[in-house]
Amino acid sequence: MSASDKPPVAGRFAELARLTPARIALGRSGSSLPIREVLRFGLAHAQARDAVHAPFRPDEVVAELAGLGVETLKAESAARSREDYLRRPDLGRSLSPESEAALAGRRGGFDLAIVVADGLSSTAVQQNAVPFITALLPFLQRQKLTLAPLVVASQARVALGDEAAEALGARMVVVLIGERPGLSSPDSLGAYLTFGPKRGLTDAARNCISNIRPGGLGFQHAAFKLAWLIDQGFRRALTGVDLKDDSDAALEAGEEPALISGG
């Protein structure tokens, strides 16, 4: 439910309630919440659970990417089931031996690898990954980067991207992943950027752009931010806590991410 779909709210919170899907100014029914708010909360909780447990459909993502002219490879983590994935986060951070061998067979001197991973919300990936990549590709083409075959990974967590990029021989990796669902955003896509990907890196080595979706950070704006970070990451040979995101200032100034060569 969008902010505009909410029931009218009286009082000083009315304007804020119209601007956000956050649960504010819910009202009262006696000592409890109005029934409509109880039902809305139950629906949001069910949507969040569905996003976590809904089966990922990687073949559909591959087919949509093929329509963009993007070469893809499918991969799986070491987690063999959704239950394993949820109970053993470590398994989702590593490629299965078969997938690692398949990616290593395509090893080359690539600037950038992109990994699309189901993460904790297959809903987010199915709905938002391809539209975001569609917005991102023109920036990457202008930056003259060499792209590895795009990897569509199942039962995957962020760190799996490090192994995938290392196997492919890429200098930088972007992991597009379904984020942990919130009660107002079961479809949030995250983008994690890492320079010099290799096994054992922590999140301190990454930059993250969160809440990519029509109801959050729009695809075009998010693509600009990521392209800016990619540009700066190559120029400075780093990502993570030492790379601050000043892309909004560049956007306000009307600047495009620089035309760079990752080589």
pLDDT digits (tens, 9 = 90+) for 186-204: 899 999 999 999 999 999 9
d(CA 144, CA 194): 18
What confidence score (pLDDT) does residue 25 get?
Answer: 73
What confidence score (pLDDT) does residue 261 get?
Answer: 38
- For residues 53-80, give the mean pLDDT: 95
pLDDT bracket for residue 47 (50, 70, 90): confident
Does pLDDT of 55 surpass 90?
A: no
As given in the structure block, the two tokens for residue 71 are 């070469």
Q: What percent of the chain has pLDDT over 70?
A: 92
Does pLDDT of 7 surpass 70?
A: no
Task: Spell out where the chain has E strands.
Answer: 72-76, 110-117, 150-154, 170-178, 189-195, 206-212
Residue 101: exposure state from Cβ atoms within 10 A (0-12, 13-18, ≥19)? exposed
pLDDT bracket for residue 263 (50, 70, 90): very low
| CA 18 and chain centroid, separation | 27
* Highest mean pLDDT pick, 45-49, 53-57, 216-220: 216-220
Does pLDDT of 9 surpass 60?
A: no
Q: Each residue of 148-164: pLDDT tens digit?
A: 999 999 999 999 999 99
Higher pLDDT, 178 or 215: 178
User: Domain 58-252 is of which CATH architecture?
Assistant: 3-Layer(aba) Sandwich (3.40)
d(CA 10, CA 7): 10
Does pLDDT of 213 surpass 70?
A: yes
As given in the structure block, the two tokens for residue 246 are 């000043």
What confidence score (pLDDT) does residue 214 get?
Answer: 94
Higher pLDDT, 36 or 101: 101
Q: Where are the domains of the chain?
A: 1-26, 58-252
Higher pLDDT, 47 or 209: 209
What confidence score (pLDDT) does residue 1 get?
Answer: 47
What confidence score (pLDDT) does residue 260 get?
Answer: 42
pLDDT bracket for residue 259 (50, 70, 90): very low
**Residue 205 · residue 194 · CB < 8 Å:** yes
What confidence score (pLDDT) does residue 262 get?
Answer: 38
What residues form DSSP beta bridges with 154? Answer: 76
